[in-house]
Structure 1
Amino acid sequence: MEKIAQRCIVCELERSDGIAICEQFICERCEQEMVNTDVQDEKYPFFIHQMRRIWLRKDA
């Protein structure tokens, strides 16, 4: 069974492996990077901003 590529809400690249949260796709690479990013890391606010987009789209 072939997986369908979807646009990741974090990196905005087309990928086929990942998870869906509230019907929004997060690729496996971004998921792993977010899970392993410390709150003190400079990239942490970027991930928070991108994840907020899920809730904004959900409410739209």
Structure 2
Amino acid sequence: MERVAQRCIVCEEERTDGIAICEQFICQQCEQEMVNTDVQDKKYTFFIHQMRRIWLTD
């Protein structure tokens, strides 16, 4: 079965592997980076901001 590319809500790249949360796609690369990012890292704030888009997107 062929996977369909979807736009990641975090990096906005078209990818085929990842997860869906509330019908919003997060690619595997971003998922892995998010779970391995320390809360003190500046990128953590970026991930929080992008994740908020899940609830703001129709």
**4+ residue runs over 4 A deviation:** none
- Ranges in structure 2 where 5+ consecutive residues have no aligned partner: none
* Matched pairs, number: 58
TM-score by length of 2: 0.97
RMSD of equivalent CA atoms: 0.7
Segments of structure 1 that go 5 or more residues without pairing to the other structure are: none
CA offset digits 1:1-59 (Å, max 9, x no partner)? 110000000000000000000000000000000000000001000000000000112xx
Sequence identity (%) = 83
Tell me the TM-score normalised to structure 1 length: 0.93
Correspondences of 1:40-55 after superposition (within 5 Å):
40-55=40-55
